[in-house]
Chains A and B, each alone.
Chain A
Amino acid sequence: MDRIRRLALLGVWGLFAIFPVYWMAITAFKEQRDIYQGPFVVPGVDFQPTLQSWEYIAGTGRDQILLGFGNSVLFAAVSSFLAVVIGAFAAYGLARYKYRFGPFTNSDLSFLIVSQRIMPPIVAVIALFAMFRFVGLLDTHFGMILVYTWFNLPLTVFILTDFMSRIPVEIEHAAAIDGYGKFDQIRKVMLPLAMPGMAAAYLLSFFFVWNDFLLALMLTFRDAQTLPIVITALSAQMEPRWWLISAIGLLAIIPPALAAIVLDRFMERQVLRGGIR
């Protein structure tokens, strides 16, 4: 009975998780009329698969899609890296040192940093637009990397502070006793031990940048367009070309999935076990 209930729950969850992906996959091989008629579920039975969308991607739309794809990979990879590196320094400080500004202490400082993410991004976007226009960063790669790094920092600081404060300070002390200076202590001991946290923070940042629509919509218009913007642009002139959107969507799953697969190796949660009594 328990087993049946468990399987049923799993089935429902699986349906929610898998069906949209399946639907996107078959939609990428449909023609517009198969999409609006239907619902057609099984390729070859309900409808005849076509390569129309892939031909478009390889042909007419190629340059624009490649541009968006490249920009998205670049922004996500670089800004997440920067957010993790800068965030690691901030987190180390918050985890290891005590700060006091009048009545405010570390936890207030942490809250101040995280509070950057409490407001909806739309609040910031108009001001950002004005600032970027003023300094000439609109539609530039540098500008987008900057804005995504800024946007992801609160998240990485938050995750890494928690992670680093779990690393026993004695292990750092041991490295000092063993003859390693501050920089080597961090490089040889703190970084490897913080690796699972950094991998997780990197992934979450990467996903956010990859899927961001709002910031890219407001701050780019040609050279620095990201994939979500390109997808929208491809459909904006006429009725939504779901077959094309789905095909690009399938491609868009690949980079974050790759990032997740690669970083999964570093996410060993038990990394701290055995260090201290």
Chain B
Amino acid sequence: MSQVELRSLTKHYGRQPALDNVEVSIRDGEFFVIFGRPGAGKSTTLKVIAGIEDPTDGQVVFGDQPMNGIPPQRRNVAMAFESYALYPHISVAANLEFPLKAPGRSIGIDERQRRISEVAELLEITPLLNRRPSQLSGGQRQRVSLGRALVRSGTGVSVTLLDEPIAHLDARLRHWLRGELRHYQQKADTTTVYASPDYVEAFAVADRLMVLIDGRVRQVGTPLEIQTHPADTDVAGMIGDPKMNLLGLDSSGELARQARQHGAHPAAATVGIWPTDAKLDRTQGGIPGTVYVVEPLGEDAIVRVDVPGGRMQIKTSSSQTYRPGEPINVHPAWERAHYFGGDGARIGGGAL
């Protein structure tokens, strides 16, 4: 394990920049998540750290050891590929054993067996150990791929790279494994870099996250820091489940008037309101709107409301029923609203 530093990392494919001046320091033993939409450069970042891709510019440093020009096999990284990349000609057990048997790694047969069964147990693939990858379902293959990376933790791996390692599992396993991965990582104390486009997954497991948009780092921080202080409207637009409501404050509108009245920054062009930070009622006051659609989700319900400035998603208790087309008043918790300037950058608000 070690600290991983990316210094002004740039990667071009042809003329297209996939990574643009990425600068971040991943701490020793940290569970670090790269959060971004598909195509943002998450996989590219992992591949550059692993040494599969060479950066066009900039440096990868493990501890105080510059890694540029060092091939993957000498970096001692573990990685689960988004595309799985299993060895189709050997069994699941042999796939898991493959990295443990690499030249120069003197891991005895007993220790190899112990590790394989431990990881197989964790990932619920014990009954599959004698099968070939072609005999597995997609989700099972993904777990084998994850297992091949995890089986090495604690064998002196510098960093474990996980590229959307649970994206193709069913909801139950995804939820369960998320916690298990976190637990496993803490127990083995391995520096882990995890790429995910999924808000819930990313924020659930991360010690810290890096928000990547179009190959640029837009924000680095703990999940709480990013949730309470999103750096700009682009970041704010990616977080929350449902997403944070971002509404334009055009100067003459009712929304803007109310926002100013409740202490909005004078230069604010956009207001961000968490779906849980607004109440709905049928009395006077608040922002007048119309119910667009209601999604009941057990105890809670998501109500989408058309208001001047956009459409809001509001999370309410499902004890109240709303009908589409019904006029309604939205009461944001203004003291917790986020304000962003004309360029999208955060300018204030967002108290907890």
Could you list which residues of chain A lie within 8 angstroms of chain B, going by C-beta atoms? 168, 170-171, 173-182, 184, 189, 192-193, 270-277
Are A275's CB and B102's CB within 8 A? no
A275 near B99 with CB under 8 A, answer: no
Q: Which residues of chain B are within 8 angstroms of A173 by Cβ–Cβ distance?
A: 47, 50, 52, 72, 81, 85
Name the B residues within 8 Å of A184 (CB-CB): 102-103
Which single residue of chain A is at the shortest CB-CB distance from B149?
Answer: A177
Chain B residues engaging chain A, CB cutoff 8 angstroms: 47, 50-52, 71-73, 76-79, 81-89, 98-99, 102-105, 132-136, 138, 141-142, 148, 168
A275 pairs with B103, CB closer than 8 A: no
The answer to whether B105 and A179 touch across the interface, beta carbons within 8 angstroms, is yes
Query: B309: shortest Cβ distance to chain A, in Å?
Result: 41
Known interface pairs A176-B52, A177-B52, A193-B89; A276-B72 also in contact (CB < 8 Å): no
Q: Is the CB of B72 within 8 A of A277?
A: no
Give 15 CB contacts A-B under 8 Å.
Answer: A170-B81, A170-B83, A171-B88, A173-B52, A173-B81, A174-B87, A176-B73, A177-B72, A178-B148, A189-B87, A274-B133, A274-B135, A274-B141, A276-B84, A277-B83
Contact of A274 among B72, B82, B86, B168 (CB under 8 A): B86
Given A173-B81, A176-B52, decide whether A271 and B88 contact each other with a Cβ distance below 8 A. Answer: yes
Point out the residues of chain B lying under 8 angstroms from A272, CB to CB. Answer: 88
| Apart from A168-B83, A177-B73: 19 A-B pairs, beta carbons within 8 A | A171-B86, A173-B72, A174-B148, A176-B51, A178-B102, A179-B76, A180-B73, A180-B103, A189-B87, A193-B89, A272-B88, A274-B88, A274-B136, A274-B141, A275-B84, A276-B85, A276-B86, A277-B83, A277-B138
A274 to B51, CA, bound (A): 25
Residues of A within 8 A of B103 (CB): 179-181, 184
**Whole-angstrom distance from the CB of A238 to the nearest CB of chain B?**
56
- For A173, the closest partner residue in chain B by CB is B52
Closest CB-CB distance, B160 to chain A, in whole Å? 10
Chain B residues in 8 Å Cβ range of A181: 71, 73, 103
Distance in Å: Cβ of A163 to nearest Cβ of chain B: 14
The 6 closest A-B pairs by CB, nearest first: A179-B102, A274-B133, A274-B134, A178-B99, A170-B85, A176-B72
Residues of chain A within 8 A (CB-CB) of B133 are: 273-275
**Complex: A214 Cα to B105 Cα, angstroms:** 54
Chain B hits for A274, CB < 8 A? 86, 88, 132-136, 141
The smallest C-beta distance from B190 to any residue of chain A, in angstroms, reads: 15
Please report the C-alpha to C-alpha distance between residue A274 and residue B131 in the assembled complex, in whole angstroms: 11
Nearest-CB residue, chain B, relative to A171: B85
B134 touches A174 (CB 8 A): no
Q: How many A-B residue pairs have CB under 8 A?
A: 94
A193 to B89, CA, bound (A): 7
List chain B residues, Cβ under 8 A from A273. 88, 133-134
CB distance from A248 to the nearest CB of B (A): 40
Contacts of A192 in B (CB 8 A): 89
With beta carbons under 8 angstroms apart, the residue of B84, B89, B99, B141 that contacts A179 is: B99
Q: A170-B81, A178-B99, A180-B103 are in contact. Are A275 and B73 (CB under 8 A)?
A: no
Q: How far is the CA of A273 from the CA of B133 in the complex (A)?
A: 8
What B residues does A174 contact at CB under 8 A?
79, 81, 85-87, 148
**A171 and B72 contact, CB distance less than 8 A:** no
Do residues B98 and A178 form an inter-chain contact, with CB atoms below 8 A? yes
Chain B residues positioned under 8 Å from A176 (CB to CB): 51-52, 71-73
| A277 touches which of B47, B104, B132, B141 (Cβ 8 Å) | B141
Chain A residues with Cβ below 8 Å from B76 are 179
The winner among A168, A176, A178 for most chain B CB atoms within 10 A is A178
Q: Closest B residue to A170 by CB, please name it.
A: B85
Q: Which residues of B contact A193 (CB under 8 A)?
A: 88-89
Are A177 and B89 neighbours in the complex by a CB distance under 8 Å?
no
Q: List A contacts of B71 (CB < 8 A).
A: 176, 181-182
Interface contact A179-B104, CB-CB below 8 Å: yes
Asked whether A179 lies within 8 Å of B88 as measured between CB atoms, the reply is no
Rounded to whole angstroms, the CA-CA distance of A276 and B85 in the bound complex is: 5
Give the shortest distance, in Å, between B193 (CB) and chain A (any CB). 13
The CA of A180 and the CA of B102, in the complex, are separated in Å by 6
**Bound Cα distance from A193 to B90, whole angstroms:** 10
* Interface contact B132-A177, CB-CB below 8 Å: no
B86 cross-chain contacts in A, Cβ below 8 A: 171, 174, 274-276
How far, in whole Å, are A2 and B89 apart by their CA atoms in the complex?
40
What chain B residues lie within 8 Å of A189 (beta carbons)? 87
Contacts of B52 in A (CB 8 A): 173, 176-177
Chain B hits for A271, CB < 8 A: 88-89
Q: Which residues of chain A are within 8 angstroms of B88 by Cβ–Cβ distance?
A: 171, 193, 271-275
Report Cα–Cα, A179/B104, bound state, in Å.
9
A72 to B49, CA, bound (A): 54
Q: Considering the complex, give the chain A residue whose CB is closest to the CB of B71.
A: A176
| A residues in contact with B142, CB < 8 Å | 277
Task: Give Cα distance in the complex from A171 to B148, angstroms.
Answer: 13
Docked complex Cα distance between A275 and B142 (Å)? 10
